[in-house]
A and B are shown apart, each in its own frame.
Chain A
Amino acid sequence: MPVDRVLPTPESRELLALVTDLARNELAPKASAFEERQEFPRDLVRTVGQIGMLGLTYDEEYGGGAQPYEVYLQALEELAWGWGAVALAVSVHTMSCYPLATFGTAEQKQRWLPDMLGGDLLGAYCLSESGSGSDAGSLQTKAHRDGDQYVLNGTKAWVTHGGVADYYVTFCRTSDDAKRGISTLLVPADTAGLHPQPPERKMGLLASPTASILLDNAKVDADRLLGDEGSGLKMALSALDNGRLGIAAVATGIAQAALDAAVEWVKERKQFGVPVAEFQGVSFMLADMATGIEAARSTYLAAARRRDLGQPFGPQASMSKLLATDTAMKVTTDAVQLFGGYGYTTEYPVERYMREVKVMQIFEGTNQIQRMVIGRHLTR
């Protein structure tokens, strides 16, 4: 049974019904095989884009769906129930549109945003480097101005959609100024000198390619600078506040899928002559899993509603990401436990869920970094 949700409008209810249908009938049945083949489901992501999920939160003027985060995140959660890698694709793409949509000029937006929101294109967000992870401000990739172009040199690491994206929102150093040294460029994938490296060999989310992007004298027109020179780090961090809400929703969706699978299993699996669900030790585990998921969902929705009302939501986004991903890690681990030995095999999806949510405690700011953000907010 799909989650019984509180939604603000009739059209948001219809959207959720549509996304739930797609997740259950198109995504979930295909996930395991694609993950095993480590194949990115480009066509399915396009289908998800065609229903409107790749521009859902942005202005109608540029082809977006003008939906509140409260709706978008719940739709994202349903996608993740069906397939984490596809939901992650939507979340990362949505984040990759943020710098242009929020800091771009009207002219830049008219030129690029409709295509980016339209569903056919896929974006990537390149902040991390091999030596600069949690300390994003220490990034080294350089962009120097040469006439009406920027010339980029360096290597961005861990890029989700590296090699399959149509454009790369790239944060790079335009000066050595400690505070205002980083700028944001919208780099087309076919830029000469932009070389995606072979994808990383990962523990989970195998259908979602993660790759380094080598920039070797890659030349980008200067009018692809988003916002002012030097405003990149601020932009990167505010994009991440939004992205973290997305990750919270994705983790919650996978946790819900793990719980649903576990509930079904324990009702069927018999030991000592009865379904194992009848043992209190089992049903108390289920109760804790469900309670954790409900708390995670409530927390990200509370943050989303702040955002939708135009109130500050940064610390709440960090709390959402921290709570949802730690909860999802525990819930998916417990789901494997409830499946017993069967849960440890690839025959059932629960071990995959467990591998998938692990990275959500790491990317878009590790959960230590989230605590740091929350702590700083309390003591500043």
Chain B
Amino acid sequence: MNIVVCVKQVPDTWAEKKLSDSDKTVDREGVEGVMNELDEYAVEEALRIKEASGGEVTVLTMGPEKAVETIRKALSMGADQAVHLVDSGLHGSDALTTSYALAKALETIPHDLVILGVESTDARMSVIPAMLAERTGAAQLTFARKVEVGDGTVKIERQTDTGYDVVEAATPAIVSVVEKINEPRYPSFKGIMAAKKKPLTTLTLGDAGIESEKVGLAGSGSSVAEFSARPPKQAGQVVKDEGDGGSKLAEFLASQKLV
């Protein structure tokens, strides 16, 4: 089974995230970039499927030049090759246009299965897997906490608030995974060395047949109208328990409209 894993480079989880003043997009230059954490689980799941039943794992990343660091990490974990969709025309793409661009890039890679993390830690929209399924016509199997592949089929346990659903579909399918699914491996030093020799294809808009007016800031249907810095932390309110601590807490929570 040939698998594509979509992997995104995001600003380091612990770094203070900023929007740039000029075009109100996430500032990716000034901060350390890391592989989106949930994508590590997606890579791990793809590698496990490959190790159990063969096939190839291709990493697909859309992002600036710098995102190649994240591609290399996925390759050093054990993915076979990578495709990097990189073009200044993509800058500022929203979720809908990103899914269009990724769907076009997917057309250039033969595959049976696409695996993604359920969301990225920077935008946290959690919609790309569903949008990709819609655009490619592949089955949508999201929020997987367990994946089993059969002959031309994929079965998942779909995490729900109360338990899980079992969902099965024929390939091609788009699977998004939750962090419960596995424990991602560390790359090995040998993996780091091997990654240097693995094929990495870069695609521009033209290479992937992406119409430039449908992507980027201008092509996006949604835009950031304005933003402001998070207000500084207010001093907390200390509730002294003089026998009525519980009701004082409840009062406070009610006043903040939290209960």
Interface positions of A (Cβ within 8 A of B)? 11, 14-15, 18, 21-22, 47, 50-53, 56, 65, 67
A11 touches B186 (CB 8 A): no
- Which residue of A51, A53, A56, A65 is within 8 Å of B187 (Cβ)? A51
Q: How far is the CB of B72 from chain A (nearest CB, A)?
A: 8
Q: Which 4 interchain pairs have the tightest Cβ spacing? A: A52-B189, A51-B188, A14-B192, A65-B189
B76 within 8 A of A: yes
Q: How far is the CB of A30 from chain B (nearest CB, A)?
A: 14
Contacts of A11 in B (CB 8 A): 189, 192-193, 196
Task: Specify which of A15, A51, A65, A67 lies most central, judged by the most chain B CB atoms within 10 Å of its CB.
Answer: A51
Q: Do A52 and B190 have beta carbons less than 8 Å apart?
A: yes
Residues from chain A with Cβ under 8 Å of B187 in the complex: 18, 51
Task: Supply 10 A–B pairs (Cβ within 8 Å), ascending by A.
Answer: A11-B193, A15-B189, A18-B187, A21-B186, A47-B186, A50-B185, A51-B186, A52-B189, A65-B189, A67-B189
Q: For chain B, residues 154 to 191, give those with C-beta under 8 angstroms from any C-beta of chain A.
A: 185-190
Inter-chain pairs besides A14-B76, A18-B187, A50-B186, 20 sampled, C-beta below 8 Å? A11-B189, A11-B193, A11-B196, A14-B72, A14-B192, A15-B189, A15-B192, A18-B186, A21-B186, A22-B186, A50-B185, A50-B188, A51-B186, A51-B187, A51-B188, A51-B189, A52-B190, A56-B189, A65-B189, A67-B189
How far is A67 from B188 in the complex, measured between Cα atoms in Å? 14
As a 0/1 sequence over residues 184 to 214 of chain B, the CB contacts with chain A under 8 angstroms (1 = contact) are: 0111111011001000000000000000000
Task: Tell me what chain A mostly uses at the interface: helix, strand, loop, or mixed.
Answer: helix
Question: Is A52's CB under 8 angstroms from B188's CB?
Answer: yes
Contacts from B to A (Cβ < 8 Å): 72, 76, 185-190, 192-193, 196
Cβ of A2 to closest chain B Cβ, rounded Å? 11
Q: Complex Cα distance A70/B188, Å?
A: 19
Cβ of A50: which chain B residues have Cβ within 8 Å of it?
A: 185-186, 188
B132 to chain A, nearest CB (A): 30
> Interface centre among B76, B187, B189, by most A CB within 10 Å?
B189
Residue of chain B at shortest CB distance from A65: B189
Q: Determine the chain B residues whose CB is within 8 A of the CB of A14 once the complex forms.
A: 72, 76, 192
- B133: min CB distance to chain A, Å: 33
- Which B residues touch A51, using CB under 8 A? 186-189
Bound-complex Cα distance A18 to B189 (A): 9
- Bound Cα distance A18, B73 (Å): 10
Q: How far is the CA of A275 from the CA of B98 in the complex (A)?
A: 48
Bound complex: CA A272 to CA B192 (Å):
51
- A65 with B186: in contact, given A11-B196, A14-B76 (CB under 8 Å)? no
Instruction: Enumerate chain A residues within 8 angstroms of B190, measured Cβ to Cβ.
Output: 52, 65
Q: How far is the CA of A51 from the CA of B190 in the complex (A)?
A: 8
Which A residue's beta carbon lies closest to that of B72?
A14
Q: How far is the CA of A15 from the CA of B189 in the complex (A)?
A: 6
B195 nearest CB neighbor, chain A only: A14
**Bound Cα distance A65, B190 (Å):** 7
Report the separation of the CA atoms of residues A50 and B190 in the bound assembly, to the nearest whole angstrom: 10
- Chain A nearest CB from B172 CB (Å) reads 33
Chain A residue at minimal CB-CB distance from B189:
A52
Closest CB in chain A relative to B20 CB, distance in Å: 25
Complex alpha-carbon distance, A211 and B190, angstroms: 33
CB-defined contacts of B185 to chain A, threshold 8 Å? 50
Looking at A15, A18, A53, the one whose CB has the most chain B CB atoms below 10 A away is A18
Using Cβ atoms and an 8 Å threshold, which residues of chain A touch B188?
A: 50-52
Q: How far is the CB of A205 from chain B (nearest CB, A)?
A: 24
Contact residues in B for A18 (Cβ distance below 8 Å): 186-187, 189, 192
Closest to B76 in A: A14
A67: nearest chain-B partner, CB-CB? B189
Nearest chain A CB to B191 CB, angstrom units? 8
Q: Considering the complex, give the chain B residue whose CB is closest to the CB of A13.
A: B192
In the complex, what distance in Å separates the CA atom of A50 from the CA atom of B191?
A: 10
Q: Complex formed: what's the CA distance from A177 to B139 in Å?
A: 78
Q: Which A residues are in CB contact (< 8 Å) with B192?
A: 11, 14-15, 18
A123 to B256, CA, bound (A): 60
Residues of B near A22 (CB, < 8 A) are: 186
Bound CA span A11–B72, Å: 11
Chain B nearest CB from A146 CB (Å) reads 42
Given the complex of chains A and B, what is the CA–CA distance between A139 and B185 in angstroms?
Answer: 44
CA–CA, A65 and B76, complex, Å? 15
| B89 to A: closest C-beta gap in Å | 29
Contact partners of B72 in chain A: CB under 8 A: 14
Contacts of B193 in A (CB 8 A): 11
Which of chain B's residues have a CB closer than 8 A to the CB of A21? Answer: 186
Output the least CB separation between B245 and chain A (Å).
27
User: CA–CA, A53 to B189, complex, Å?
Assistant: 8
Give the residue among A14, A22, A51, A52 with the most B Cβ atoms within 10 A: A14
A188 and B192 CA atoms in complex are apart in Å by: 32
**Smallest distance from the beta carbon of A323 to chain B beta carbons, Å?**
29
